[in-house]
Structure 1
Amino acid sequence: MTRTRNPELTRMALLEAAERVLQKQGAALSLDAVAREAGVSKGGLLHHYPSREALLSALALALVDRFRERVAAAHAREVAAHGEKPGAWLRAYIEVSFTPEAGEEALCVALAPLAGHPDLIAGLREAQAFVVSGAEDDGLPAGRAHAIRLACDGFWLGPLTGMPDLSPGARALLREELLTWTRM
Protein backbone atom coordinates (compact mmCIF):
# COMPACT_ATOMS: atom_id res chain seq x y z
CA MET A 1 0.00 0.00 0.00
CA THR A 2 1.38 3.41 -0.86
CA ARG A 3 1.74 5.81 2.02
CA THR A 4 -0.96 8.41 2.26
CA ARG A 5 -1.80 11.17 4.66
CA ASN A 6 -5.48 10.75 3.94
CA PRO A 7 -6.87 8.62 6.80
CA GLU A 8 -10.08 7.83 4.90
CA LEU A 9 -8.15 6.39 1.94
CA THR A 10 -5.97 4.41 4.34
CA ARG A 11 -9.04 2.98 6.12
CA MET A 12 -10.59 2.05 2.76
CA ALA A 13 -7.38 0.28 1.69
CA LEU A 14 -7.27 -1.59 5.01
CA LEU A 15 -10.89 -2.71 4.58
CA GLU A 16 -10.12 -3.89 1.04
CA ALA A 17 -7.17 -5.87 2.40
CA ALA A 18 -9.41 -7.34 5.13
CA GLU A 19 -11.92 -8.40 2.46
CA ARG A 20 -9.22 -10.21 0.51
CA VAL A 21 -7.98 -11.97 3.65
CA LEU A 22 -11.52 -12.95 4.67
CA GLN A 23 -12.18 -14.39 1.23
CA LYS A 24 -9.01 -16.50 1.51
CA GLN A 25 -9.07 -17.42 5.21
CA GLY A 26 -12.64 -16.97 6.37
CA ALA A 27 -13.51 -15.87 9.89
CA ALA A 28 -10.07 -16.96 11.13
CA LEU A 29 -8.70 -13.64 9.85
CA SER A 30 -5.83 -12.22 11.86
CA LEU A 31 -4.72 -8.62 12.11
CA ASP A 32 -1.20 -9.71 11.13
CA ALA A 33 -2.54 -11.18 7.88
CA VAL A 34 -4.53 -8.01 7.12
CA ALA A 35 -1.51 -5.79 7.82
CA ARG A 36 0.65 -7.96 5.54
CA GLU A 37 -1.99 -7.89 2.80
CA ALA A 38 -2.25 -4.10 3.06
CA GLY A 39 1.51 -3.62 3.18
CA VAL A 40 1.46 -1.80 6.52
CA SER A 41 2.72 -2.58 9.97
CA LYS A 42 0.36 -4.09 12.51
CA GLY A 43 0.75 -0.85 14.47
CA GLY A 44 -0.38 1.10 11.41
CA LEU A 45 -3.46 -1.10 11.15
CA LEU A 46 -4.17 -0.75 14.87
CA HIS A 47 -3.94 3.02 14.56
CA HIS A 48 -7.05 2.95 12.36
CA TYR A 49 -8.79 -0.13 13.77
CA PRO A 50 -7.77 -0.73 17.40
CA SER A 51 -9.06 -4.32 17.49
CA ARG A 52 -10.07 -7.21 15.27
CA GLU A 53 -13.71 -6.56 16.23
CA ALA A 54 -13.41 -2.89 15.23
CA LEU A 55 -12.00 -3.90 11.84
CA LEU A 56 -14.70 -6.52 11.23
CA SER A 57 -17.42 -4.15 12.39
CA ALA A 58 -16.18 -1.50 9.96
CA LEU A 59 -16.08 -4.10 7.20
CA ALA A 60 -19.65 -5.23 7.94
CA LEU A 61 -20.87 -1.62 7.88
CA ALA A 62 -19.02 -1.04 4.60
CA LEU A 63 -20.85 -4.04 3.11
CA VAL A 64 -24.17 -2.52 4.20
CA ASP A 65 -23.18 0.78 2.59
CA ARG A 66 -22.30 -0.99 -0.66
CA PHE A 67 -25.59 -2.85 -0.60
CA ARG A 68 -27.48 0.42 -0.02
CA GLU A 69 -25.63 2.03 -2.96
CA ARG A 70 -26.43 -0.94 -5.20
CA VAL A 71 -30.13 -0.76 -4.25
CA ALA A 72 -30.15 3.01 -4.91
CA ALA A 73 -28.55 2.50 -8.34
CA ALA A 74 -30.99 -0.30 -9.22
CA HIS A 75 -33.88 1.89 -8.05
CA ALA A 76 -32.68 4.75 -10.25
CA ARG A 77 -32.56 2.36 -13.24
CA GLU A 78 -36.07 1.09 -12.45
CA VAL A 79 -37.47 4.63 -12.19
CA ALA A 80 -35.70 5.69 -15.39
CA ALA A 81 -37.15 2.70 -17.26
CA HIS A 82 -40.69 2.62 -15.84
CA GLY A 83 -41.28 5.77 -13.82
CA GLU A 84 -41.83 6.20 -10.09
CA LYS A 85 -44.53 3.56 -9.67
CA PRO A 86 -45.42 1.57 -6.56
CA GLY A 87 -43.02 -1.34 -6.10
CA ALA A 88 -40.06 0.31 -7.85
CA TRP A 89 -37.87 0.26 -4.75
CA LEU A 90 -38.75 -3.34 -3.97
CA ARG A 91 -38.01 -4.40 -7.55
CA ALA A 92 -34.57 -2.87 -7.06
CA TYR A 93 -34.22 -4.70 -3.72
CA ILE A 94 -35.13 -7.99 -5.41
CA GLU A 95 -32.65 -7.36 -8.23
CA VAL A 96 -29.78 -6.71 -5.84
CA SER A 97 -30.75 -9.56 -3.49
CA PHE A 98 -30.74 -12.05 -6.36
CA THR A 99 -27.48 -10.82 -7.94
CA PRO A 100 -24.75 -10.63 -5.31
CA GLU A 101 -21.43 -9.07 -6.21
CA ALA A 102 -18.43 -11.34 -6.67
CA GLY A 103 -17.10 -12.37 -3.28
CA GLU A 104 -20.02 -10.85 -1.36
CA GLU A 105 -21.40 -14.18 -0.20
CA ALA A 106 -17.96 -15.31 1.01
CA LEU A 107 -17.61 -12.11 3.02
CA CYS A 108 -21.01 -12.55 4.63
CA VAL A 109 -20.21 -16.16 5.52
CA ALA A 110 -16.97 -15.00 7.12
CA LEU A 111 -18.72 -12.23 9.04
CA ALA A 112 -21.61 -14.46 10.22
CA PRO A 113 -19.83 -15.53 13.44
CA LEU A 114 -19.93 -11.88 14.54
CA ALA A 115 -23.70 -12.16 14.93
CA GLY A 116 -23.17 -12.84 18.63
CA HIS A 117 -21.60 -9.43 19.26
CA PRO A 118 -24.37 -7.14 20.58
CA ASP A 119 -22.52 -3.91 19.73
CA LEU A 120 -22.03 -4.97 16.12
CA ILE A 121 -25.64 -6.12 15.80
CA ALA A 122 -26.89 -2.79 17.12
CA GLY A 123 -24.77 -0.90 14.60
CA LEU A 124 -25.88 -3.13 11.75
CA ARG A 125 -29.53 -2.82 12.75
CA GLU A 126 -29.23 0.96 12.65
CA ALA A 127 -27.32 0.95 9.34
CA GLN A 128 -29.89 -1.32 7.74
CA ALA A 129 -32.99 0.57 8.87
CA PHE A 130 -33.25 1.84 5.30
CA VAL A 131 -34.61 -1.55 4.18
CA VAL A 132 -37.66 -1.22 6.41
CA SER A 133 -38.37 2.38 5.47
CA GLY A 134 -37.68 1.69 1.79
CA ALA A 135 -40.21 -1.15 1.77
CA GLU A 136 -42.79 0.82 3.75
CA ASP A 137 -42.47 3.92 1.55
CA ASP A 138 -42.69 2.05 -1.76
CA GLY A 139 -46.43 2.50 -2.29
CA LEU A 140 -47.49 -1.13 -1.88
CA PRO A 141 -49.62 -2.42 1.00
CA ALA A 142 -47.32 -2.65 4.02
CA GLY A 143 -47.88 -6.37 4.62
CA ARG A 144 -47.00 -7.23 1.03
CA ALA A 145 -43.98 -4.93 1.04
CA HIS A 146 -42.61 -6.54 4.20
CA ALA A 147 -43.33 -10.05 2.88
CA ILE A 148 -41.29 -9.28 -0.26
CA ARG A 149 -38.40 -7.78 1.69
CA LEU A 150 -38.33 -10.56 4.25
CA ALA A 151 -38.49 -13.20 1.50
CA CYS A 152 -35.42 -11.58 -0.10
CA ASP A 153 -33.64 -11.46 3.23
CA GLY A 154 -34.50 -15.10 3.97
CA PHE A 155 -33.39 -16.13 0.49
CA TRP A 156 -30.07 -14.43 1.02
CA LEU A 157 -29.44 -15.37 4.64
CA GLY A 158 -30.78 -18.93 4.54
CA PRO A 159 -27.67 -20.62 3.16
CA LEU A 160 -25.49 -18.59 5.57
CA THR A 161 -27.38 -20.12 8.49
CA GLY A 162 -27.27 -23.69 7.20
CA MET A 163 -30.66 -23.77 5.48
CA PRO A 164 -30.78 -25.75 2.23
CA ASP A 165 -30.20 -23.56 -0.81
CA LEU A 166 -32.62 -23.40 -3.71
CA SER A 167 -31.81 -24.85 -7.10
CA PRO A 168 -31.20 -22.30 -9.87
CA GLY A 169 -34.67 -23.04 -11.26
CA ALA A 170 -36.35 -22.53 -7.88
CA ARG A 171 -34.38 -19.30 -7.41
CA ALA A 172 -35.67 -18.00 -10.74
CA LEU A 173 -39.26 -18.94 -9.85
CA LEU A 174 -38.98 -17.21 -6.47
CA ARG A 175 -37.54 -14.08 -8.04
CA GLU A 176 -40.31 -13.92 -10.64
CA GLU A 177 -43.02 -14.48 -8.02
CA LEU A 178 -41.66 -11.68 -5.86
CA LEU A 179 -41.50 -9.36 -8.87
CA THR A 180 -45.14 -10.23 -9.63
CA TRP A 181 -46.08 -9.21 -6.08
CA THR A 182 -44.58 -5.75 -6.73
CA ARG A 183 -46.88 -5.18 -9.71
CA MET A 184 -50.23 -6.11 -8.13
Structure 2
Amino acid sequence: MGRTAGRSPEDTRRALLESAGEVIRTRGLNASLDDIARHAGVSKGGLIYHFASKDELLLELARSVLARFRDDVAARLDPADDAPGRFTRAYIRALLAPVEDEVAARREMALISQLSTVPAVAALVAADTTELNDEFAADGLPPDVLTLVTAAADGVSIAPMWGGTVATADHRELEKRLIQLTRRPELWQSLPWTP
Protein backbone atom coordinates (compact mmCIF):
# COMPACT_ATOMS: atom_id res chain seq x y z
CA MET A 1 0.00 0.00 0.00
CA GLY A 2 2.89 2.39 0.73
CA ARG A 3 2.08 5.88 1.93
CA THR A 4 -1.58 6.50 2.61
CA ALA A 5 -3.00 9.12 0.27
CA GLY A 6 -3.07 12.57 1.80
CA ARG A 7 -0.52 11.78 4.51
CA SER A 8 2.90 13.34 4.51
CA PRO A 9 5.82 11.09 5.46
CA GLU A 10 5.90 12.87 8.84
CA ASP A 11 2.17 12.22 9.34
CA THR A 12 2.66 8.56 8.46
CA ARG A 13 5.60 8.25 10.84
CA ARG A 14 3.58 9.91 13.62
CA ALA A 15 0.61 7.59 12.91
CA LEU A 16 2.91 4.58 13.08
CA LEU A 17 4.29 5.68 16.45
CA GLU A 18 0.79 6.33 17.82
CA SER A 19 -0.39 2.97 16.53
CA ALA A 20 2.65 1.20 17.96
CA GLY A 21 1.88 2.72 21.35
CA GLU A 22 -1.76 1.68 21.24
CA VAL A 23 -1.06 -1.85 19.97
CA ILE A 24 1.74 -2.45 22.47
CA ARG A 25 -0.39 -1.20 25.36
CA THR A 26 -3.16 -3.65 24.45
CA ARG A 27 -1.18 -6.63 23.12
CA GLY A 28 2.17 -6.18 24.81
CA LEU A 29 5.64 -6.20 23.33
CA ASN A 30 4.86 -9.36 21.39
CA ALA A 31 2.66 -7.33 19.03
CA SER A 32 3.88 -7.83 15.49
CA LEU A 33 4.90 -5.24 12.92
CA ASP A 34 1.92 -6.48 10.87
CA ASP A 35 -0.43 -5.63 13.77
CA ILE A 36 1.06 -2.15 14.10
CA ALA A 37 1.02 -1.47 10.34
CA ARG A 38 -2.58 -2.63 10.05
CA HIS A 39 -3.63 -0.43 12.97
CA ALA A 40 -1.90 2.57 11.35
CA GLY A 41 -3.51 1.87 7.98
CA VAL A 42 -0.26 1.23 6.13
CA SER A 43 1.37 -1.82 4.65
CA LYS A 44 4.13 -3.64 6.47
CA GLY A 45 6.45 -2.37 3.73
CA GLY A 46 5.34 1.17 4.51
CA LEU A 47 6.17 0.61 8.16
CA ILE A 48 9.59 -0.85 7.26
CA TYR A 49 10.24 2.21 5.07
CA HIS A 50 10.01 4.38 8.21
CA PHE A 51 11.40 1.92 10.77
CA ALA A 52 13.78 -0.77 9.54
CA SER A 53 13.08 -3.08 12.48
CA LYS A 54 10.85 -3.53 15.47
CA ASP A 55 13.73 -2.53 17.75
CA GLU A 56 14.13 0.73 15.84
CA LEU A 57 10.39 1.38 16.14
CA LEU A 58 10.41 0.67 19.90
CA LEU A 59 13.41 2.96 20.43
CA GLU A 60 11.77 5.77 18.50
CA LEU A 61 8.53 5.27 20.42
CA ALA A 62 10.43 5.53 23.71
CA ARG A 63 12.28 8.62 22.44
CA SER A 64 8.94 10.25 21.61
CA VAL A 65 7.53 9.55 25.08
CA LEU A 66 10.65 10.94 26.76
CA ALA A 67 10.67 13.96 24.44
CA ARG A 68 7.04 14.78 25.24
CA PHE A 69 7.89 14.90 28.93
CA ARG A 70 11.01 16.99 28.34
CA ASP A 71 8.96 19.38 26.16
CA ASP A 72 6.40 19.66 28.95
CA VAL A 73 9.11 20.56 31.48
CA ALA A 74 10.62 23.11 29.07
CA ALA A 75 7.20 24.69 28.50
CA ARG A 76 6.84 25.18 32.26
CA LEU A 77 10.14 27.05 32.70
CA ASP A 78 9.34 30.54 33.92
CA PRO A 79 11.27 33.01 31.71
CA ALA A 80 11.24 35.57 34.55
CA ASP A 81 12.72 33.06 37.03
CA ASP A 82 16.51 33.11 37.18
CA ALA A 83 16.91 31.90 40.76
CA PRO A 84 18.46 28.57 41.72
CA GLY A 85 15.94 25.75 41.32
CA ARG A 86 14.35 27.10 38.14
CA PHE A 87 14.55 23.75 36.32
CA THR A 88 13.38 21.83 39.39
CA ARG A 89 10.32 24.09 39.69
CA ALA A 90 9.42 23.41 36.05
CA TYR A 91 9.84 19.67 36.69
CA ILE A 92 7.51 19.84 39.70
CA ARG A 93 4.92 21.78 37.68
CA ALA A 94 5.10 19.22 34.86
CA LEU A 95 4.68 16.25 37.17
CA LEU A 96 1.92 17.70 39.33
CA ALA A 97 -0.06 19.49 36.63
CA PRO A 98 -3.70 18.41 36.54
CA VAL A 99 -4.12 15.91 33.73
CA GLU A 100 -7.08 16.37 31.42
CA ASP A 101 -7.17 12.70 30.51
CA GLU A 102 -5.96 10.54 33.38
CA VAL A 103 -6.65 7.36 31.39
CA ALA A 104 -4.24 8.59 28.69
CA ALA A 105 -1.69 9.49 31.39
CA ARG A 106 -2.02 6.01 32.86
CA ARG A 107 -1.53 4.48 29.41
CA GLU A 108 1.59 6.58 28.81
CA MET A 109 3.09 5.41 32.12
CA ALA A 110 2.25 1.79 31.35
CA LEU A 111 3.76 2.12 27.89
CA ILE A 112 7.10 3.46 29.08
CA SER A 113 7.16 0.72 31.74
CA GLN A 114 6.64 -1.95 29.09
CA LEU A 115 9.15 -0.40 26.73
CA SER A 116 11.76 -0.18 29.50
CA THR A 117 11.93 -3.98 29.59
CA VAL A 118 13.66 -3.85 26.18
CA PRO A 119 17.42 -3.57 26.85
CA ALA A 120 18.05 -0.85 24.24
CA VAL A 121 15.14 1.19 25.58
CA ALA A 122 16.32 0.67 29.17
CA ALA A 123 19.72 2.06 28.12
CA LEU A 124 17.98 5.05 26.48
CA VAL A 125 15.93 5.70 29.63
CA ALA A 126 19.06 5.39 31.80
CA ALA A 127 20.88 7.92 29.59
CA ASP A 128 17.90 10.28 29.79
CA THR A 129 17.84 9.90 33.59
CA THR A 130 21.56 10.70 33.77
CA GLU A 131 20.97 13.81 31.67
CA LEU A 132 18.04 14.81 33.89
CA ASN A 133 20.13 14.30 37.03
CA ASP A 134 22.89 16.47 35.52
CA GLU A 135 20.33 19.22 34.94
CA PHE A 136 19.17 18.92 38.55
CA ALA A 137 22.77 19.03 39.82
CA ALA A 138 23.39 22.22 37.84
CA ASP A 139 20.17 23.80 39.12
CA GLY A 140 21.77 25.19 42.26
CA LEU A 141 19.66 23.62 45.00
CA PRO A 142 21.09 21.89 48.08
CA PRO A 143 21.11 18.12 47.41
CA ASP A 144 18.78 17.31 50.32
CA VAL A 145 16.19 19.83 49.13
CA LEU A 146 16.45 18.52 45.58
CA THR A 147 15.99 14.94 46.78
CA LEU A 148 12.97 15.83 48.90
CA VAL A 149 11.07 17.82 46.27
CA THR A 150 11.79 15.56 43.31
CA ALA A 151 11.02 12.37 45.24
CA ALA A 152 7.72 13.84 46.43
CA ALA A 153 6.76 15.02 42.93
CA ASP A 154 7.82 11.71 41.35
CA GLY A 155 5.82 9.70 43.88
CA VAL A 156 2.65 11.75 43.60
CA SER A 157 2.81 11.85 39.80
CA ILE A 158 2.28 8.11 39.48
CA ALA A 159 -1.09 8.24 41.24
CA PRO A 160 -2.99 7.84 37.94
CA MET A 161 -1.18 4.52 37.39
CA TRP A 162 -3.06 3.15 40.40
CA GLY A 163 -6.38 4.84 39.67
CA GLY A 164 -5.67 7.96 41.71
CA THR A 165 -5.61 11.57 40.63
CA VAL A 166 -3.34 14.60 40.86
CA ALA A 167 -6.20 17.04 40.25
CA THR A 168 -7.25 17.84 43.81
CA ALA A 169 -6.84 20.99 45.88
CA ASP A 170 -4.44 19.02 48.10
CA HIS A 171 -2.22 18.39 45.09
CA ARG A 172 -2.23 22.07 44.16
CA GLU A 173 -1.18 22.87 47.74
CA LEU A 174 1.56 20.23 47.61
CA GLU A 175 2.86 21.68 44.35
CA LYS A 176 2.91 25.15 45.92
CA ARG A 177 4.76 23.93 49.02
CA LEU A 178 7.35 21.96 47.04
CA ILE A 179 8.02 25.02 44.92
CA GLN A 180 8.33 27.12 48.10
CA LEU A 181 10.99 24.71 49.36
CA THR A 182 12.99 25.28 46.17
CA ARG A 183 12.82 29.03 46.67
CA ARG A 184 13.65 28.92 50.38
CA PRO A 185 15.79 25.85 51.04
CA GLU A 186 16.54 27.13 54.54
CA LEU A 187 12.97 26.09 55.44
CA TRP A 188 13.95 22.49 54.84
CA GLN A 189 17.26 22.86 56.63
CA SER A 190 15.59 24.30 59.73
CA LEU A 191 13.31 21.31 60.28
CA PRO A 192 14.22 19.44 63.49
CA TRP A 193 14.68 16.07 61.74
CA THR A 194 17.34 17.32 59.34
CA PRO A 195 20.59 15.39 59.96
CA contact (8 A) 2:73 2:94 kept: yes
Alignment of 1:27-42 (within 5 A): 27=28, 29-42=31-44
Aligned to 2:46: 44
Post-superposition shift, 1:17?
3.0
Task: Report Cα offsets for 1:7-59 as digits up to 9, x if no partner.
Answer: x5543332133345456x36365433321232210122133334444323211
Unaligned runs of 5+ in 1: none
- Call closer, same or farther: CA 1:114–1:18 in 2, change over 3 Å: closer
Q: SS state of the match for residue 174, structure 1? A: helix
Residue 127 of structure 2 corresponds to residue 129 of structure 1: no
2: CA distance between counterparts of 1:84 and 1:26?
Answer: 46
Query: TM-score scaled to structure 1, two decimals?
Result: 0.75
Q: Which amino acid aligns with 2:132?
A: V
Q: Please, which moves more after superposition, 112-121 or 85-94?
A: 112-121
Task: Report Cα offsets for 1:35-88 as digits up to 9, x if no partner.
Answer: 12322101221333344443232111111111111211211xx123xx311222
- Call closer, same or farther: CA 1:58–1:47 in 2, change over 3 Å: same
Aligned to 2:56: 54
Residue 96 of structure 2 corresponds to residue 94 of structure 1: no
2: CA distance between counterparts of 1:125 and 1:157?
Answer: 19
2: CA distance between counterparts of 1:116 and 1:91?
Answer: 30
Q: Please, which moves more after superposition, 14-23 or 173-182?
A: 14-23
Alignment of 1:138-149 (within 5 A): 138-149=139-150
Number of corresponding residues: 176
Q: SS state of the match for residue 39, structure 2? A: helix
Aligned to 2:193: none
Unaligned runs of 5+ in 2: 185-195
Query: TM-score scaled to structure 2, two decimals?
Result: 0.72
Post-superposition shift, 1:150?
2.8
- Greater share of residues in helix: 1
Post-superposition shift, 1:96?
0.7
Task: Report Cα offsets for 1:106-163 as digits up to 9, x if no partner.
Answer: 1221332233322211111113333212211222112212332233223334664x6x
Alignment of 1:1-184 (within 5 A): 1-2=4-5, 6=9, 10-21=12-23, 25=26, 27=28, 29-75=31-77, 78-80=78-80, 83-99=81-97, 100=99, 102=101, 103-157=104-158, 160=161, 165=164, 168-184=168-184
2: CA distance between counterparts of 1:30 and 1:107?
Answer: 20
2: CA distance between counterparts of 1:166 and 1:39?
Answer: 34
CA contact (8 A) 2:62 2:115 kept: no
Post-superposition shift, 1:5?
7.8
Task: Report Cα offsets for 1:158-178 as digits up to 9, x if no partner.
Answer: 664x6x846735433432331
Fraction of identical pairs, as percent: 32
Post-superposition shift, 1:95?
0.9
Question: Is the radius of gyration larger for structure 1 or structure 2?
Answer: 2
